[in-house]
Amino acid sequence: MTGKAALRRELLAVRALLSSEDARETAAVLARRALDLPELAGARTVAAYVSVGREPGTRALLDALRVRGVRVLLPVLLADNDLDWAEYEGADRLVRAGRGLLEPDGTRLGVDAVLEAEVVLLPGLAVDGRGMRLGRGGGSYDRVLGRLTRAGAEPALTVLLYENEVVARVPEEPHDHPVRAVVTPGGVRRFDDRR
């Protein structure tokens, strides 16, 4: 088992112990903290995702951004694990898709729609002191981050996590990208502006 796989397994086991109530309460705190980010305050377009299971909750944040008039793009998983995008039009317009994910049922905008985002909220399992993010391992967001880099786009890459998921070191591979900030219930931690 690789270092990434072992760390993923450990962090997912801790998440599985969270109660539904703890997850809901944390989601509300994360939304408040994230909404205070200057990058989100000025953003016109944000690429995000719909949290599922015990992931740090995003739904309150998605709704708050929409109320602010922000265009929120959500991923649609393609057969090859790449991500298409569609606009978030409210919780009642989300449909259950493969792998238990929730996706918007609206018009598909294409894989390059993410290039319009000033902020990209990335799902993750951990981040370290360098801003290196550990994802789920499917490679979907590696493709997104590569697409952003090739296009010269520099959105504020941000991840929402639980406190224990800010770790000493995340195993790193050449294709990995650091994030600009991590939002936890305890606050926001920023990293330098490297991509």
Binding-site annotation, residues for substrate: 50, 55
- In single-letter form, the type of residue at position 81 comes to N
Which residues are part of a known binding site? 4-8, 50, 55, 133-141
Count of CB atoms situated within 10 Å of the CB of 39: 16
Please give the full DSSP string across the chain, using - where no structure is assigned: --HHHHHHHHHHHHHHT--HHHHHHHHHHHHHHHHT-HHHHT-SEEE-----TTSPP-HHHHHHHHHTT-EEEEEEE-TTS-EEEEE---GGGEEE-GGG-EEE-S----GGGGGG-SEEEEP-SEEETT-BEE--SSSHHHHHHHHHHHHT---EEEEE--GGGEES-----TT--B-SEEEETTEEEE--S--
Q: Residues marked as binding for ATP?
A: 4-8, 133-141
